[in-house]
Amino acid sequence: MKPMDSPLSIAFVGSYPPRRCGIATFTRDLSAALGAAGDRVLPMTIAVSDPGGQYEYPGEVKYEIRQAVKADYGRAAEFVNYSDVRLVSIQHEHGIFGGDDGAYILDLLTALRTPTIATLHTVLKRPPDSQRAIIQKMSRQCARLVVMSKVAADLLGASYGVNERKIQVIPHGIPEMPPRDQQRLKAKFGVSGQRMLLTFGLLGPNKGIETVIRALPAVIETFPDVVYFVVGATHPMIVRRHGEAYRTSLERECERLGVREHVVFRDRFVSNEELCNYLQAADLYVSPYQNEAQVTSGALSYAMGAGAAVVSTPYWHAQELLSDGRGHLFPFGDHGALSAALRSLLGSPAELERVRRSAFEFTRFMVWPRVGKAYLELATKVMAEAPTRLTPIQATRASSLPELRLDHLIRMTDDTGVIQHATYSVPARNTGYCVDDNARALIVALRADRVSSDPQMKRLVTTYLGYLHCAQGDAGDFQN
C-alpha cells in the first residue's frame, strides 16, 4: 500500500470502554489496529452511552452521543461535517442506538457528509420488518457494510436485499498472543496438573452455561481432576432487569449435581491480557450458545486464536470457523453429547493437540494487524470512489426537531384511505373520505418513508395511491 499524502482522520462511532460490552471492546481494538496500520492514520471516537451510563472516557473520545437523545445524532454528524474527519466507521448493533430498533442511527447517516463504512455485528435470517428497513436504508447511505463471516454476507443479500457490491467480509480481529506457557498459567490460576475447561463472556441466559454444568458429572467420573472456569461478569442489561438470578440458578445447579467444587465462577470484567492468560491455560474451550442465528462470536475467535481446542454448539459462525476438523460440534442443549465430546478429546491428547494446532494456524489471518490492514485498504478504496468531500449543509440542524410521530395518521387510515375528520383521537367514519386529504396524506407518507424505518409507511402510500386511482376519471380529472 502506498503511503498516504495527507493524514487520514477516521471517526469511529459505537459503544466504547469503560462501557462494558463486546462492541465497546471491538471499537477500541479496531481503532487501535487502524491507527497502527498506517503511519498517518488518526483515529478518534464518538462514543454512544447507554441511558443512565456515566463514563470517564479516555482522550481519544472526542464526542458523546446519549443513546436515547435523538438530537445528539444530528449534532454528532454536524461535529464530523465541520471537522477534518475523512471517513466514518460505525459499529452497528440495533440495541446500542436509540429509537425503535435503533432507528436514530439513520439521523446520523442522513446528516453525514463524509464517506461511511458500517460494521454489522448482528445479521438475522428472518429480521423484523423494521430492522430490515433500517439495514436497507443504511446500505443506501453507507459506502460499504462490513460483516465478519460468509454466512452473514449471504444473509445480507438473501434476507435484507442488500446489493452484494455493498458487502465486504472482514473477520473479527483477535490479539497476537505470546507463545503459550500452559503449565505456568495453570499454576497462576491454582489448577496445576488439572484439566481445565473454559467459557468466557458477559453472562446471560442465552449463553448455555447450564448445558456444560449438566455435562460435568459424566466427565468428572472419567476425569476427576477436571475444573470448569466460567469467566465474565453478568451482562449489565441482565443485571439491570433481573439482578443475578441467572448466575444464582447456575450455582444452585452445581450444588444439585454435586459438581460445585469443579466449577469456578470469575464474576468480573477481565482485561484483554487476563483473558488471553485464561485462554492459553485452558485445555478445552466450550462455546455452548443456544441460538443458531449467531453470525459473529468474538469469544470463539479469541479462543481459536489462543490455541485452545474448541467444543461448540453448531451456531452459524461456529459451523464456519470449526469446519475441516478445526473443532468439535454438539447439538444445542444436549449435555449428553457434550459429555461424550469432552471425554473423547480429553482422553486423546494427540487429537486434542491436532485440533488446537489446526485452529491456531487457521486464525493467523484474523490477528488485529491483518484486520487493521484490511479495513485500511477498504477505507482507501471507499475514499477513492468518493474523491471529493461533500459540502456541509445547515440541514443537520433539523435533528433538533421533535421526533416524527405518525400515530394519528395511521389511526385515521383504514383499508380505503384517510378518514376526513375525528372526534379528538377517534376517527369519525361517518364523515367519509376526500381526494385532497388523501393527496396530502400521500405526500406525508412518501416523505416519511425517506426518514423513517416504519414499514407501515409503504402500506399507507399504497392505500392513498389506491384511493386516488379510483377517484381519477378517464380524462384525468378527479371526483372529490
Task: Give the model's confidence band at 196: pLDDT under 50 very low, under 70 low, under 90 confident, else very high.
Answer: very high
Measured between alpha carbons, how far is 458 from 455 in angstroms, rounded to an integer? 6
Same-domain pairing of 433 and 352: no
Over residues 120-137, the pLDDT tens digits come to 999 999 999 999 999 999
Same domain (yes/no): 133, 230 = no
Q: pLDDT exceeding 90 applies to what percent of the chain?
A: 77
Domain count, the chain: 3
Question: Taking residues 237-261, what's their average pLDDT?
Answer: 91
Note whether 158 and 211 are same-domain residues. no
**434 and 308 in one domain?**
no
Task: Using DSSP, state whether 176 is helix, strand or coil.
Answer: coil
pLDDT in tens, 302-329: 999 998 999 999 999 999 999 999 999 9
User: For 446, phi and psi rounded to 5 degrees?
Assistant: -65, -45
pLDDT of residue 462: 93
Q: What are the pLDDT digits (tens) for 408-439?
A: 999 999 999 999 999 999 999 999 999 999 99
pLDDT of residue 453: 63
Task: Give a yes or no: residue 37 inside a domain.
Answer: yes
Q: Angle, to 10 degrees, between the axis of helix 298-305 and the axis of helix 22-37?
A: 60
pLDDT band at 7 (very low <50, low <70, confident <90, very high): confident
Q: Domain range holding 55?
A: 8-173+368-396
The answer to whether residue 92 is domain-embedded is yes
Query: Is 58 domain-assigned?
Result: yes
CB atoms within 10 A of CB 165: 7
- Percent of the chain with pLDDT strictly greater than 70: 95
CB proximity list for 48: less than 8 A, separation 6 or greater: 13, 14, 15, 16, 64, 65, 67, 96, 97
Q: Which of 345, 365, 385 is the last residue of a domain?
A: 365
Amino acid letter for position 359: A
- 432 with 348, same domain? no
Instruction: Compute the mean pLDDT over every residue in the chain, rounded to the nearest whole number.
Output: 91
**Amino acid 388: pLDDT:** 57
Taking alpha carbons only, the member of 417, 379, 199, 203 closest to residue 302 is 199
Is 480 within a domain?
no
pLDDT score of 396: 44
Place of cell 475467535: 301
The CA distance from 55 to 137, in Å, is 31
Same domain, 421 and 333: no
Count Cα neighbours of 423 within 13 Å in the Cβ-side half-sphere: 4
- Evaluate whether 195 touches 293 at the Cβ level (below 8 Å): no
Q: Are residues 194 and 260 in the same domain?
A: yes
Residue 255 pLDDT more than 70? yes
Query: For residue 303, which of 317, 286, 319 has the smallest C-alpha distance?
Result: 286
Is residue 20 domain-shared with residue 169, that is, in the same domain?
yes
C-beta of residue 9 within 8 angstroms of C-beta of residue 26: no
Q: Give the Å distances, CA to CA, from 43 to 30, 46, 112, 120, 363.
A: 10, 10, 18, 19, 26
The arithmetic mean of pLDDT across residues 348-377, rounded, is 95
pLDDT value, residue 452: 65
Residue 479 is assigned to a structural domain of this protein: no
**In a domain? residue 478:** no
Q: Is the pLDDT of residue 64 over 70?
A: yes
Structure confidence at residue 395 as a pLDDT band (50, 70, 90): very low
Asked, for residue 96, whether it belongs to a domain, the answer is yes
Cell of 412: 385515521
Task: Evaluate if pTM is beyond 0.95.
Answer: no
Residues 187 and 311 in one domain: yes
Torsion of CA 30, 118, 202, 153, to 10 degrees: -110
- Same domain for 425 and 311, yes or no, is no
Min mean pLDDT across 50-59, 67-76, 191-200, 253-262 is at 50-59
pLDDT at 5 over 70: no
Please determine, for residue 12, whether its predicted confidence score (pLDDT) is greater than 50: yes
Same domain? 329 vs 262? yes
Amino acid identity for residue 101 in this structure: D
The answer to whether residue 1 is domain-embedded is: no
Q: How far apart are CA 353 and CA 361, in angstroms?
A: 12
Q: Which long-range contacts (CB under 8 A, 24 or more apart) does 149-153 make?
A: 149/295, 149/296, 149/316, 149/317, 149/320, 149/321, 150/320, 151/295, 151/316, 151/317, 151/319, 151/320, 152/120, 152/123, 152/295, 152/296, 152/316
Statement: residue 67 has pLDDT above 50 = yes
Instruction: Indicate whether 313 and 381 sit together in one domain.
Output: no
Tens-digit pLDDT profile for residues 175-194: 998 878 889 999 999 999 99
What's the CATH number where 220 sits? 3.40.50.2000
Alpha-carbon gap, residue 72 to 307, rounded angstroms: 43
